[in-house]
Amino acid sequence: MLHPHRSLLRSTCIFLGLTGLSAAVRADDPAYELPKFATYSAQVANQTPVATFAMPVSALRFEPRVDVQARNLAEGQADVTIRGGVFENTGFKFGAVSLFDPQTGHYFAEIPVAPAMLLSPRVLTGADNALAGFNAEVGTVAYGWRPIEQRGEAAVAFGDYATNRQSLYQGLVLPDRHDGQTVAADLNLSRSESDGSVPFGDHNFRRAAGRVQLQGAQSQTDFFAGTQHKFFGWPNLYTPFGFNETEDLHTTLYMFNHRASLSADDFWQIGAYYRRNYDDYEFNRAVPGASNPFQHTTHVRAVSLEGHLTEGDYAADFSFQAMRDNLQSTSLTAGRFNTRDYYKATFVPERQYAAAAGALTLRAGASFDDTNRDKSALSPILEALLVRPDGTRFDLQYTETTQVPTYTALNSNATAGLFRGNPNLGRETSRNLEAGVSFKRAGWTVETAVFYRWDDQLTDWTFTRGVTARTANAVDIGILGVEIVATRKTPRYDVVLGYTFLDKTADYGAATIDASFYALNFAKHRLTAAVTARLGGGLEVRLDNEFRIQEPNLLRTIGGDHAVLSSAGLYYLPPRLRGVELSVLVENLWDSSFQEVPAVPASRRQYSVGAAYRW
């Protein structure tokens, strides 16, 4: 394995060199007229993973504001964290509704939606998350439904470790309008399998997803249905005790969303969904059912309404979501309940002022959270935003958000077993004070934020020497953070640079711990660099890079606390074969052994070659 600093230097030299090469491409190069590469996120370079088909989590792997901590591959099991939170502090939102898995945040990203059906994700933090998030204290990854176009795509790829993947997407728009609306539909079928980059790291994934869409002049209505089956294995998948573990997940999702645009800024939308997730976890795949069968089924139903309305110098944001869940489990039986109703209502009025210094917007409102099992909470949302005539934005805000723990923490046996819970865990509260500046200079768009967050009674999973289990403990944490994202896009190249600094102080009260799996598993310094270089003649190089200095952790036994992670892609779009794309992809370019989740072995370097045809 390369020394981390040499790896970083090599990554930097490669992408800077490619950027320089791309600058030599003539603006009238015929490559610019070729079909565009499928873009699922504007913040990363490589849109398609190496070992499997693209999922919503795929485009977050190198997102500057998101830290994806993967087991096996990100599309296998990934904890998605934002601003130093834990995996259960991050929500996923589609249109008006926020998805949820009441068993555990490990399954929040189990979403059987094809990225081709979605707009590029937005990462909501601070006041935006307080307004639009649901049971997610720190951040929300928000997707909009992409308008359907008459187009299609078929793709195949093959790689080492017997890896192969295939996917088909077709969008259809009917030529005739009905009651002033266009009827459209799209369908995605995908599958992949691999022996895995380490022994017992195999996977077998399948997804089928479809939509019917009504498109009006100022409205869009989507009806979605999808199902996904994922089997995968990995050593130490969830426990640090040296066993080969497996997951078998079946997820079904039905969604409805209607959005109406009233003006450039004003809108309202409603949505509803039903989600069923079945999980069969094996602690020891050689002895199925050992140490207690872990089989769980969750059902979630939700409805939501949100919007933004303006009247002169006044405006208001509003949102409401109601949700009901149900858990059926062979092992999560020690708690006080296995069903729960959730409610959240938010109203944030604002006043706009025009002055020579710029446009000033003041927002002051609150969110009300409640369940039929927990105490309710009223959380303030305060923000002042100044936009100067040159477009520079200054933002100051204070927000509070809350959430309640999932059933794995609440209903696991507190005194025995591999996962030890606490039925008395209560509502968690997060208070966030933040200042930000964003501006454009010399072709660059720069966004910065400095924040301090107090997370009280956060549910963490901890490890203690001599105890063969992980234990749910409440912790109070103070987090100081800095975020910087700089973007430059030209006809010849795109560059997205990110930097995050985090510092934490934690108080576990009377609990005795030796290590934290999640709350104290964070990068003190994290740099990302996504580079796309269009070299001409149909050639394109895409590089995603991450360098991180991790907080030391007793459980991290291999790979050290410094890491360089890179994903590279070489794409060729033959000018004479319009619609054809050939690719060579490499994941974990430097073959890093860094453990993203402590005690969980890293995926090794993987290659794949692929072909796609778009019509």
Q: Please give the share of the chain, as a percent, with pLDDT higher than 90.
A: 87
C-alpha 348/C-alpha 131 separation (Å) is 8
**Statement: residue 407 has pLDDT above 80:** yes
Averaged over 526-548, what is the pLDDT? 96
Please give the order of strands across the beta sheet that includes 90-94: 97-99, 90-94, 139-143, 122-125
Residue 201 has pLDDT above 90, yes or no: yes
Angle at 372 between CA 125 and CA 335, to 5 degrees: 95
**Range(s) of the domain holding residue 121:** 4-614
pLDDT in tens, 289-305: 776 789 999 999 999 99
Q: Are the C-beta atoms of 218 and 229 separated by less than 8 Å?
A: no
Render pLDDT for 457-481 as a digit per residue (tens, 0 to 9).
999 999 998 888 889 999 999 999 9
| Helix or strand (DSSP H, E) at 20 | helix 4-22
Domains in the chain: how many in total? 1
The pair phi, psi for residue 318, each rounded to 5°, is -145, 150
Residue-averaged pLDDT of the chain: 92
pLDDT of residue 372: 97
Residue 151 has pLDDT above 70, yes or no: yes
Mean pLDDT for the stretch of residues 379-384 = 98
224 contacts 451 by C-beta, under 8 angstroms: no
Q: What is the pLDDT of residue 512?
A: 86
Q: Tell me the CATH number at 555.
A: 2.40.170.20
Q: What band does 392 get if pLDDT is binned at 50, 70 and 90? A: very high
pLDDT band at 26 (very low <50, low <70, confident <90, very high): very low
Mean pLDDT is lowest, of 358-367, 464-473, 596-605, for 464-473
Residue 476: which H helix or E strand, with range? Answer: strand 470-489
